[in-house]
Structure formats: C-alpha cells, structure tokens
Amino acid sequence: MQMVHLYVFCQQPDRVAIVTGGTDGIGYATTKYLARLGMHVIIAGNNDAKAQEVIRKIREETLNSKVEFLYCDLGSMTSIRQFVHKFKMRNVPLHVLVNNAGVMMVPQRQTKDGFEEHLGVNYLGHFLLTNLLLDTLKDSGSPGCCARVVTVSSATHYVGELNLDDLQGSRGCYSPHGAYAQSKLALVLFTYRLQRLLAAQGSHVTANVVDPGVVNTDLYRHVFWGTRLVKRVLGWLLFKTPEEGAWTTIYAAVTPELEGVGGRYFYNEKETRSLPVTYDQKLQQQLWATSCQLTGLPDGSRGAILR
C-alpha cells in the first residue's frame, strides 16, 4: 500500500518533542521524521540497549545530534514520574508530545501497578504522562504557535466498549481483543476531554488523536497465528509500512494547517468521525475522573468547564 504525500514541512530547529515508543515501528518512523525537521527529539521507552542503536542510526541518517533517550516504562507509575522529573530538570520547553507506545492483544497479565496491561500501558500510562507534562506544554505554547499533544489510537476503537465499572475486565472472560479495543477507545475519549479543558483554560496547547491504519509492525506478534500468516504472505499488499503509518501522526504534530485546531480524529491526514459514543461529554468526564483516581492525580477538571 503506497501513499503519496504532498506536504513539505518547514524546519523546526528550536522545537522539542517527546515520542513514546520511539524505538520501533510507527514511533521510530515518527522520531526519524521529526529529527529530519531539526527538532530535538526525546524517545521515551523501556529498552535502553536498543535505544542506543536506534539513536545512532537516526543521528547518522538525519545529521541531527539532538536525538536522545530517556527511560520510561509506561507500565509503571513510578517510572513515569521519574521520567517527567528527569525531563523537567533539564529546564527545556516541550512543543510536541506524541503518545505512541502500546501493546496489542497480549495475554492476560498486569502492570507493575496491578492494572490490566492494555489499560495500564496504552491508556493510563499516557494519561498520567500527559497530565504531568501539561504545565511544560502550556508554558511552551504561544499565540499562533501552540504546543501539541498527538495521541495514537486505532480503528479498533470502533468496536470497543468502555466498562467504567470493570475497566480491568476482571469480572468476565478475558478478551485480549476487547481489552485492546477498550484502551484505544479510552484514548479517544481522553483526547476530547483534554481538548475541552485546554480550550476552557485558554491554553496554547491542542490535543488530537490519530488512526495510523493497519501497519506492518511487531505489535502483531501476539495475534492469532492465522493472522500472522496472512500478514507475512500479503503484508506488502494489505498493510502500510511504518513510515506510511506514521504520516498522520507527523501531520498532526507539525502541519501549519492544524495550528490551533484540537479535539479532532484524523485518518490518512483527514479529519473523520470517531465512534459516536466518544462525543458523549458525560462519559468523557466520568472516564477522566476514574483515571485520576487510578493514577493518583487530583481531578482539576471539576468545575473547569460547563459539563
């Protein structure tokens, strides 16, 4: 599947970005492209040895030495807080946060904090990370040059169901696909709520969510063997490359067309409608409040906007 991209983005040498999961797949392609634009890119990941080789390659290919790695395990609230502390100690701005990392259809298991892994890594980890970095994002944005939060969801969210009474999926038969879809649905609801809060506060920060499409990455290692076989035989025809999959993320992160635009769902660089339930503002609020409780954050959104 080949796509023709007609966008040429300006160099952005003074801007700083964080990309979670930037050592593989879509995250790697995103990191490399942002580095080509001259951005200072920090990869947030949990594989230090692999990251060092990735950084060497990206620096060599892009001629940008401002690419680095900071350890961050999204399955650990402690690790996320340590990452944010180390980042803030550098006293640098943050113009782009790409919430990209994730797991897909893994067997039933828990994070270090006891959360179901899809919920903990894909959703709660990014919820906490984003909230802890919001003050820096707000300080870095300015009129006509907003800081941006770009969150990677999936078309799988269209079949997701959000069970606020049992987000862990512990009361019934565990479904890896259902847990994955729920985590991606939660990311869309989170993005819309975040944008409403940012807009209500007059912040120069925008939040959008993107769907990369079906991409040929290692995330498929846990799916049914028949799916893996199809991927191996017909992957070149049915699946996007990681570079193609990353393009909508890059578009949302840097295109001038989206300056000041937030609360949107993008697929193939075009705004599209997400699942109807994602626009339910009461559900957005309820998920936000529950997420604050689970991550130990105060719910500063209460009373911040009309509900």
- Residue 24: the pLDDT is 93
Is 232 within the bounds of a domain?
Answer: no
Residues known to be catalytic: 180
Is 151 within the bounds of a domain?
Answer: yes
User: Which neighbouring-strand residues pair with 271?
Assistant: 266
CB 220 within 8 A of CB 228: yes
Handedness of CA 73, 75, 81, 87 (dihedral sign): positive
Tally of structural domains, the chain: 1
Q: What is the largest CA-CA distance in the chain?
A: 53
Is 206 within the bounds of a domain?
Answer: yes
We report the CATH number of the domain holding residue 169 as 3.40.50.720
Is 158 within the bounds of a domain?
Answer: yes
pTM attached to this predicted model? 0.90
Is 8 within the bounds of a domain?
Answer: no
Number of H-type helices and E-type strands within the chain: 9, 8
pLDDT band at 114 (very low <50, low <70, confident <90, very high): very high
Is 141 within the bounds of a domain?
Answer: yes
Is 32 within the bounds of a domain?
Answer: yes
Residue 211, class by beta-carbon neighbours within 10 Å (0-12 exposed, 13-18 middle, 19+ buried)? Answer: buried
- Reported as a single tens digit per residue, the pLDDT across 167-217 is 988 777 899 999 999 999 999 999 999 999 999 999 999 999 999 998 565
Q: Which residues contact 50 (CB under 8 A, 6 or more apart)?
A: 23
- Reported as a single tens digit per residue, the pLDDT across 232-260 is 434 444 577 989 999 999 999 999 999 99
- Reported as a single tens digit per residue, the pLDDT across 48-87 is 999 999 999 999 999 999 999 999 999 999 999 999 999 9
Is 304 within the bounds of a domain?
Answer: no
Which residue segment(s) compose the domain that 130 sits in?
16-215+243-295
